[in-house]
């Protein structure tokens, strides 16, 4: 019987297809497989906006919170009007994840976020986002290397990131520069209080954050789950997170 720490991950809404499919919740398998490979027990969390009692009951059984990639964070969550380039959002997921992050921060429960996850962390802590990096961020490089039928690779190394050597992210990766994949069109605009930016793309866009105290909270803008099998530095991000959750459980 697995005795690993329990890691909660909110799912995402899949809208109904009339006559074919009712509304569903979904989650990419790769996230879950990487967590289990490093010793975690995954718990996929349903989206029940407004039902805080049920969400809290789930949260209280978790040892860590993992935040995955997905659709855009709704600009209403950080007090902005929707930009014309903002894409599909999932307010039920926003509600769920923002509650989980804020509770975890208050309890010093470990948190790890990737892609949309770093954005949700920043918003939960009081920051804001570029609703479209290409339109709103000066001198932006290309960040949206989303897979296509012609180029389906999710582990394509799109650009380097510069990592702060004294940071937790820097110590885990063990390098001051590393190549990453890139599948996003939003990014951190105003960094939230209490967070430190610890990795940057060549254009200066924030690519990693962590807390300024000793709590385990890390967000990265790339998708390390797609590279964890072949790249030890990416796997160490997950291993360290699960180890921190194991320590919290103890």
Catalytic center residues: 115, 223, 225
Alpha carbons 11 and 61: distance in angstroms, whole number? 17
Q: What is the DSSP string of 43-93?
A: EEEP--TT-HHHHHHHHTT-SEEEE---SBPPGGGGT-PPPTT---B-HHH
Q: Two tokens at 33?
A: 């497989």
Alpha carbons 134 and 219: distance in angstroms, whole number? 21
Nearest to 109 by CA among 225, 28, 211: 211
139-156 in b/e form (b: 16+ CB < 10 A) is ebeebebeeeeeeeebbb
């Amino acid at each position: 019987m697995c005795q690993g720490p329990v890691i909660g991950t909110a799912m995402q809404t899949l809208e109904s297809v009339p006559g074919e499919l009712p509304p569903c919740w979904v989650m990419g398998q790769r996230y879950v497989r990487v967590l289990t490979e490093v010793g975690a027990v995954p718990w996929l969390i349903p989206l029940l906006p407004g039902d805080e009692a049920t969400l809290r009951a789930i949260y209280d059984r978790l040892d860590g919170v993992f935040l995955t990639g997905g659709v855009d964070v709704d600009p209403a969550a950080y007090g902005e009007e929707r930009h014309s380039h903002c894409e599909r959002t999932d307010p039920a997921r926003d509600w769920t994840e923002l509650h989980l992050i804020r509770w975890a921060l208050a309890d010093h429960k470990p948190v790890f976020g990737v892609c949309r996850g770093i954005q949700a962390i920043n918003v939960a802590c009081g920051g804001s986002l570029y609703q479209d990096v290409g339109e709103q961020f000066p001198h932006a490089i290309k960040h949206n290397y989303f897979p296509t039928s012609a180029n389906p690779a999710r582990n394509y190394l799109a650009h380097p990131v510069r990592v702060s050597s004294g940071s937790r992210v820097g110590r885990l990766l063990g390098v001051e520069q590393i190549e990453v994949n890139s599948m996003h069109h939003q990014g951190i605009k105003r960094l939230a209080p209490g967070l430190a930016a610890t990795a940057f793309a060549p254009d200066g866009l924030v690519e990693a954050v962590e807390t300024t105290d000793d709590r385990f909270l890390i967000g990265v803008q790339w998708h390390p789950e797609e590279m964890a099998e072949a790249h030890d530095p990416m796997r160490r991000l997950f291993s360290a997170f699960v180890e921190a959750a194991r320590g919290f459980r103890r």
